Structures are given as C-alpha cells and as structure tokens.
Structure 1
Amino acid sequence: MNLAKNWKSFALVAAGAIAVVSLAACGKSASGTKSSDASANLNKKQTITLWTFTTEQPQIDELKKLKPNLTIKQVVIPYADFQTKLDQVIGTSKGPDMVALDAGFVEKYVESGKLTDLASYGVSSAAKDNYKYTLDMGKNAKGQQVAISYQAAPGAYYYNTNVFQKYLGIAPSDTKAAQAALSSWSQIEKTAQTIKDKSGGKAYLFSSLEEIYNPVIGARKTGWVKDNKLKIDSTMTDSLDLMKDFVSKGLTQNTTAQSADWFAGMSNNTVGTYALPSWGLFYWLKDYSKGTAGDWRVTAGPVSYSWGGTWLAGVKGAKNSDAASALSVYLSTDKTFQTWEAKTQNDFVSVKTVNDTVGKDASVSLLGGQNPYPIFSNVAKNINGKNQTQYDQNIQSLWINDVVNPYANGKITKDKALKNFKNDVKSAYPALSVD
C-alpha cells in the first residue's frame, strides 16, 4: 500500500518510505462473543471492500499469495475527494469494510466513533514491536487502538556532500560533522550563513521554509487542540523569527516546496539540505537528483518528527468489519508481509525488528553507499505520536498561510499574523475556545 508518491501533492495541506508477530486472539469482541484467531479469520473465503486514495494493487496481489481465499475489492478515490465521499457513507450499507487513512486526516476518523476497536483482534500482542508513535496516532481518546499503520515515516535531513565539502569543509565520509552542523536551530542558522558567505550568495542551506516548519510542526510537544482549546506550542512561535531571518538574510532560495524550482536544487549543487521523510529518498530525491546521485547523505537533524504515513482500520458495523479489522492488524504486524513490503516496495515499515533485519547491511547507492536504516529507526523511536489531533489538516494549513508565509516574508507583523490565524481557526471551528 505504497501511498508515498501520492502524498507529495498534499504535503502543504497536511503540513505535510523506504520502505511481528503472528496474530493471537484475546479478550472479547464488542458483542461479547469470543473473537477467533485474527489470522485464521483471513483464511476464510470472503471479500473485503477497501476504500483508499491511491492504488494498492501490488500489495493486494501479494496478499492473494499469502491469503488466497481473501478477495480485496479496492475502491480508489482521489485524495481531494476522499474524505467528502467517505463521510457520506462510512458506517452505512453503502460504505466500505476497511479504510486506508492518510496521516493528515487519520485523527479525524480515529475520534469519529466509526472505527472498530482492534483489541479483539490481538493488536496488543501483535503490535508489541511496532513503533510507539504509529500506535499512539491510531488510539482514540478512550485509549482504544482503532487504526494501525503498516509503515513508519520518520523525517530526516538529506544533505548534498558537494555543498557541504565545498563551503563547510566537511568530507563526504564525515557524517558526524554534518550532523553537528545541523544539530540545533541556532547552529543551522550559523551553517546557513556560512554557506551563503562562502558561496557568495550562490548556494543555500535550504531551498524553502518547509525545511524548517515541517520538522517543527512534526516535533511539537503539544497538539493544536487540548481540552477544546486552541494551543500554539512555543516551538511554533519560536521558529517564526528564525524563518524570517532565513528570508531577510537570504539564507534560503525561498522557493515553494514541491515546486519545479524546489526540486531543481536536488540536481544543481546549489542547495545543501532538504528535510524529507524516509519515503522521500526514493520518491523525490531519486527522481530529481540527476547529476548528484551518490552525493547525498542522510542525518537526523535537530528534532525527531514524522511526515506522512497510512493507517488501516475496519469500519464499525460494516458487513465484513471482522475481516477488515483482522486484516488491518495483519498487514501492520505480520513479519512475512512486512518483510515483503520493506524489500519490494522501498518502505520503512512499522515493525522495528523487520527494519533491523532488512536494513542490517543496507547500502543505498543514491546515498553513496550509506545505510539510512539506523538513522530512520532512531528517529522513529523518538517521534511524538500524541501531538496529533482531528483538527490538524486544516489548522496547519492556516498556520502556514496566515502566519509562516506572510510574517517570514515581511508582509505582516507577528501580532497581526497570529490574530488572523486565531480568527480563521475560530471561523472554521466555532466550538473551539480561542484566546
């Protein structure tokens, strides 16, 4: 279920992969009856209707080999229309048995009351080796695991060794020095200034402000809404002056993320660093690094954050909700399937031990032979999955459009930008308390 390619058009909206355990039943289902072994449930002849926002045919074909009696009826709906269409039918006879939910809106459905509690499908024991943040994002306010991700999407900094060597004196093999140059936001500003000065303004550390705000948004301690009140994490406001400095001092090209100019910097040795998720390696950097392939490396940067991901869930009350719920757990925890996903779909998966095994001796030519798995895994272990809310997609878009872009570009004062942001949040969500 490789959704990475489709995320790129929606990264700004969502504020936004290289890429277990056999299931054992436990407890009782909501109806009070003992649930059968979840994996065995998938051996029965049955059809599951899955709604998703991108094709998942390779995974469906592989699943057919592992579970030949299982038929997946896939309904692909364009991302822009997905939520609108799903909201009209979810939980009704016209709705799907199973849904694939993007990181940008998963919390909306996690808190909707429309998804099945996965406790009866052995999720607790099956997912004991999954990255904690991926599980936290699939838990509702009651602590029920109602969605589960088959992949992790840790964010990192990919840097061009040509730029780092020429302007910072850092050898391609010296990944420790590169991490030191990107170890904190204050150090990042110094590094950016050095690159500008040494290049005579012809090279930049970052192409866009996204290289700052995506990690900051992803690493927040506090979510946008708590106790029905709008919350602005201090790191969000702290980063505003940094971004304004990057624009006013000419430390960034100030391109629009995912634009032609932004991608161009991956091939012309004018941009030193891009903040990308694990899947960005093979779905962006690989495609746009013509002429610089092999000259890139990856390091963690100043914070641990995620970008993207896909959560699976069974829909409560659907005809084949049992099978859909069991399948959600199976795809996200089964070692055989997860290993296939990691090896054939370039996915960094949700199960730690699978990544450790598959990535033990990995060598990525695009990264000059570097093994990125240890970096991705260390970042994934430290991601905060509790800073997500059902309001994120819209509020983060408002933050970027109302605050980040106009303030950093000197078009508005910080106070006015924050006032506009709060007013727009209040208009979008009248029930929220906005100070």
Structure 2
Amino acid sequence: MSQAPIIARLTTRDADFDSRLEALLAWEGVSDHEVASRVAEIIGAIRERGDAAVIEYTNRFDRLEASTMSELTIGPDRLAQAFAGLPAAQRDALEHAAARIRAYHEHQKPSSWQYEEPDGTVLGQKVTAIDRVGVYVPGGKAAYPSSVLMNALPAHVAGVREIVMVVPTPDGVVNELVLGAAHLAGVERVFTIGGAQAVAALAYGTESVPRVDKIVGPGNIYVATAKRAVFGQVGIDMIAGPSEILVVSDGGTDPDWLAMDLFSQAEHDEDAQAILVTWDAAHLEAVQASIERLLPTMEREAIIRESLARRGALILCDDREQAVALVDRVAPEHLELSVESPQAMAETIRHAGAIFMGRYTAEVLGDYCAGPNHVLPTSGTARFSSPLGVYDFQKRSSLIQCSPEGADTLGRTASVLARGESLTAHARSAENRLKTDD
C-alpha cells in the first residue's frame, strides 16, 4: 500500500483547485466557545481579586509555588545581570540584531506637522507616544528572545515611557537569553506570568502589575482569546495565527534551499503553513524530492511532517501573473520571491506581511536580524493590516486653531450643515463666532 504524500500537490487547472485552496487557508484560532468561557472566567477573577488571582492561576498552570507577587517579579538589576552573564557569542548576536532592528525602526518615526491657511487658521497633527506598553513573550515549549527585541525596541524608539514584559516560566525555568534581550531592549520590569491571567493583569492592572495602554506580542489560543476580549479597554497589536510562508520560485533556485525554507516555518508547530508556487513542473518535482529526502534529517521532523500534511502545499500554476494573483489571494505573512527580478515582481504584489526578495534572502533572516519587524499579519489579514512598527506605539492628535476670519468662514458652513442635521446647539455654537456687520 502506497504511503500518503508528505505534502499536498495542487494545480490551478484542477476543477477542485479553489475549494482545496480555501480548505488549506481556512483558520480561526480564537472561536472555541470553551476556551472563550474559561478566558472570561480568568479575566473576571483577575479584575475581582487582583494579585491573589494572578498568583493562583500562575501556580496552577505553570506548576509553581509562589506566595507573593515579588516572587514573580524581575527588576532591572536582574535583567542587566542576565545580559552580562550570557556567553559572548549570544551577547554579540543580540547586540547585532538589536542594532539593526533599532536602526530600521528609527526610519519609521513620523513627525508632527501643521500648516497655516491664508486667513490665519492653523491645522495640523501632533504625534505622541503611548505612555505604557505591555509586551507578552511566549514561554514553555521554546524561548523567544527575538520576540522581545521585535516588540520592545519599536516601543522604545517610539518614545514609550514604560515597557512592562510578561513571560511565563513553567516549572520555574527562567531563560537567561530572554531576560538579557529584555535588558537590551529597554524593558524595565518583567513579571513571570503568562496566559490569559497575564493579559488580564496588564489590561486592568492589579496591586503589583501596572495597567498598560496597549498589549503586544504573540501567544497561544488563550492569550489570543484574552487579547480579543480586553480590546477596547486597551489597545492590542493583532490576533496572531500560526506562522506562514509562501514561496514563489521560477525554477532557478536550489530545491534543497526551498525545502528548508518551507521547513523553517513548518517547524514552529503543527498548524503552521508552508506553500510553494511555481510555473515550472520539473522544478516542483525537484522540490518535492528535496522535501522527502531532507525531512528525515530534521530534529523537529514530526512537527514538520504534521504541518506539511495538514496545511502545506506545492502549487503548479500557469505563469508568473497567475502566481502573483495567488499571492494576493493568500495574503501571506511571509512571502519569498525566489525569482529573477524580484523587485519588479514585488511591485505587482498587493497583499503580504513581509516580502523577501531574491534567491539569497531566506525568510529566517527576517525572523532574527534583518531589521524589519517579524510581528506580521497572519491568516490573510495582510489584506488590511501591517507589520508591527513604531506607529503602533504612537497616536495622533488633530490640531485646529481658527483665526477670527477662519471662524467666520468655517462657522457659516458648519451652521448650514448642523441645521440640516437638526442639531441647533451645534449650529448656534458656530454662529456665536460669526462676524457681525457694524
């Protein structure tokens, strides 16, 4: 009996192509009613009992025995100690990545502006940073110092006054690399808590955890559901789904390279998605052969195999133009354009979180140290949202100052429109400032 293929093969000319693609792309990570109910219960307990509930849930879920919040708090001295104690190679790598991430995000800083109209009326926009931000960093299965840098550094560049970090430490295991990254990124306080209880504590505040204005950072389904639940009380960055990569190849890139690029996202977890699109049938066969040969050599083979089987695909399309149309339909988190003239192709792409151009630009460089943010829209949300950046940690205020002449001109227009809406107080407020004939 033949074995099931490691990864699905699709052809755009197949009659069932659309339905198969839609099934692969379908994802809703925070719709589980049971999870939503448990999250609501946790949020309610944190709001009602504060620190006591945070300690209770943290002990239960992370298998700890804390009795006070001080045992779950890490201050700046301990963060600095963690950084100083790292091996030199790790310190150097963190510093190199941090410098590049900071430099890139410095270019994003918007400026306040204003202009004056001929009658003396002044209009403009004032940009100010959010006061306090909470950064959620996953813990447990893996440590993510890169997530610390990508979430905290743009906030620091934006001018956020205080950055508070939460990171779960199951069984009390603290990752020194994560703490060292927090020190380097300007984090001032870390609470070793996670899950929905950490999100609730940041959103509403407790006796020990300060209430923040915005929560950023990825997490599991409980974290994502909690972020959705508290949105409105605080800002959030996005509801993040599983990691995704879509590779477009014209057949000129080493198939082994592309197989590993697909693996690099599939190894995140079983729900991650890895798709390759090409119009070269022989190249598609070669990539499939590389996948089959290289997969048994991977340390996370079981996760990659499950991910590719559930949500992966090798897609044969008709031509370059159809590949572009598929990219915009998928709106992938990560897009590799492994083609000749990648910049020209990138010009035609409308929907993608991050675009990696050329055969030598592996997506993983963006995960760690290229500079642009690795917190990206997933699950098709690149159609309407953008990578995390400095602008996510700032807000804009409109500026309006009328001269007497401007108040007269604008007031007459406002009066007519207000009376048209039957809002006479509006109209009379504007009319009070109209010029009167002497």
TM over 0.5: no
Determine which structure has the larger strand proportion and give its number: 2
Q: Which has the larger radius of gyration?
A: 2
TM-score, normalised relative to structure 1: 0.24
